């Protein structure tokens, strides 16, 4: 069986839920740093996928008295081939507090929903474009599908939220350990550069309805 990054992390999330724990609670129960299994730890600042260590998984299994074959079941049973609908969030709402966690994953209920093509990220959501600043790439009313768990690489179109609550769609030009350089999609708007500590979260755009 070919294991994927999402499968392993989703299995750890399900292991925590089975034991009525959060990801942080599972890590603490296993004697690990409380942030070991947090969503923010699953992608490096450079956008590479970070896998849980064999040791951390083994400690989590031991702490919850879970057999390896049970964990394998959590891996294989939870894989969905595709997601048919995702929550739809207005662009203005995205800048408000309370709609996302600190890793850029949508929280809460009561969202409208939108159908989408083949997407396997269980945390994916749709964002409705507002304003003219992203023309001609995206126009008001366009819907983009955003994947918080996808690795981000140079040249990807991404949604970025700053610590100040500003939300924008840009192209990733360059990322270092200290700064994020973003290219504007509209030639009339300037490119932006931010210190890494001013970025709340970034998420890759997978698809757009236009």
Express each pLDDT in 31-46 by its tens digit.
999 999 988 788 877 7
Q: Are 120 and 150 in contact (CB under 8 A)?
A: no
Distance CA 43, CA 152 (A): 9
Express each pLDDT in 76-110 by its tens digit.
764 444 445 666 666 655 656 656 666 566 666 55
Domain spanning 85-209, CATH class: mainly beta
Domain spanning 5-77, CATH class: mainly alpha
Provide the token pair at 32: 């690990």
Q: Are 140 and 158 in contact (CB under 8 A)?
A: no
Q: Tell me the torsion sign for CA atoms 100, 104, 106, 108.
A: negative
Q: What is the largest CA-CA distance in the chain?
A: 59
Q: Tell me the torsion sign for CA atoms 73, 75, 80, 85.
A: positive
Identical fold, 5-77 and 85-209:
no
Domain boundaries along the sequence of the chain: 5-77, 85-209
Three-class DSSP labels, the chain:
CCCCHHHHHHHHHHHHHHCCCCHHHHHHHCCCCCCCCCHHHCECCCCCECCCCHHHHHHHHHHCCCCHHHHHHHHHHCCCCCCCEEEEEEHHHHCCCCCECCCCCECCCCCEEEECCCCCCCCCEEEECCCCCCCCCCCCCCEEEEECCCCCCCCCEEEEEECCCCEEEEEEEEECCCEEEEECCCCCCCCEEEEHHHEEEEEEEEEEEC
pLDDT of residue 107: 65
Tens digits of pLDDT across the chain (210 residues)? 467 788 888 889 889 888 888 888 999 999 999 999 988 788 877 777 889 999 999 999 999 999 988 888 888 764 444 445 666 666 655 656 656 666 566 666 555 665 555 566 667 788 888 877 788 888 888 888 888 878 888 899 999 989 888 888 999 999 999 999 999 988 888 999 999 999 988 888 887 775
pTM value?
A: 0.50
Q: Tell me the torsion sign for CA atoms 37, 102, 193, 210.
A: positive
């Amino acid at each position: 069986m070919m294991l994927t990054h999402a499968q392993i992390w989703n299995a750890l999330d399900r292991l925590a839920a089975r034991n009525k724990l959060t990801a942080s609670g599972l890590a603490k129960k296993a004697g690990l740093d409380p942030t070991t299994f947090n969503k923010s730890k699953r992608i490096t600042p450079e956008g590479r996928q970070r896998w849980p260590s064999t040791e951390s998984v083994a400690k989590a299994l031991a702490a919850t008295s879970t057999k390896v074959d049970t964990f394998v079941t959590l891996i294989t049973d939870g894989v969905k081939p595709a997601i048919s609908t995702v929550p739809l969030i207005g662009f203005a709402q995205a800048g408000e507090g309370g709609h996302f966690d600190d890793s850029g994953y949508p929280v809460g209920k009561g969202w409208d929903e939108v159908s989408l093509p083949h997407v396997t990220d269980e945390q994916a959501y749709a964002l409705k474009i507002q304003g003219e600043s992203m023309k001609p790439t995206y126009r008001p009313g366009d819907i983009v599908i955003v994947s918080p768990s996808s690795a981000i690489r140079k040249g990807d179109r991404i949604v970025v939220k700053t610590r100040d609550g500003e939300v924008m769609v840009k192209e990733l030009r360059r990322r270092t350990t200290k700064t994020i350089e973003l290219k504007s999609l509209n030639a009339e708007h300037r490119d932006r550069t931010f210190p890494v500590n001013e970025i709340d979260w970034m998420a890759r755009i997978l698809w757009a309805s236009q």
